[in-house]
Amino acid sequence: MMVFMDDVRETPEGWTRTYSVEETIDLLKTRQVEFLSLDNDLGSEDPKTEGHNVLSFLEEQVYFDHTFPIPKMTVHSSNAGRAPSMRKIIEKLEMIRQEQIGGR
C-alpha cells in the first residue's frame, strides 16, 4: 500500500489518502504500508497533528520491534523548517535498521 498524508494537495493516482497522523499510524500498524509520502502541516495549530509525529511513531516502533517494517518514505512538505528535520529522522530510521541487521 502507498500512503499519501496531506490535507490539501491532490492525491496521486493509486495512493491511499490520509488526512491525519492518527489515520496514517493506523495504516502503518497494519504492516502493509510499502511507501509513505508525508506532509507536516495538516491544517491545525496543534503540534500533535503535525506529520513529523508519524516519524516519531515509526522511530519508536522500529527501535523496540526489529520486525516492524519501515516503508520507503519521502517528505513532500513545503515547511522549510520541519521538512529537513523530517528527512533526518528518515535517515536515522534507516541507520537504526542497518544496525539491527548488522547486530544479528
C-alpha span between 77 and 86 (Å, rounded): 9
Q: Is the pTM of this model over 0.75?
A: yes
Among candidates 4, 68, 71, 5, which has minimal Cα distance to 34? 71
Q: Structural domain of residue 30, as residue ranges?
A: 2-102
Q: Which residue has the higher pLDDT, 77 or 17?
A: 17
CATH of the domain at 82: 3.40.50
Convert the pLDDT of each residue in 23-79 to its tens digit. Answer: 999 999 999 999 999 998 877 776 677 888 999 999 999 988 989 999 999 999 888
- Res 104 pLDDT > 60: no
Q: Which residue has the higher pLDDT, 14 or 78?
A: 14
Please tell me the predicted confidence (pLDDT) of residue 103. 60
CA distances from 38 to 74, 83, 90, 102 (A): 6, 9, 11, 28
Q: How many structural domains comprise the chain?
A: 1
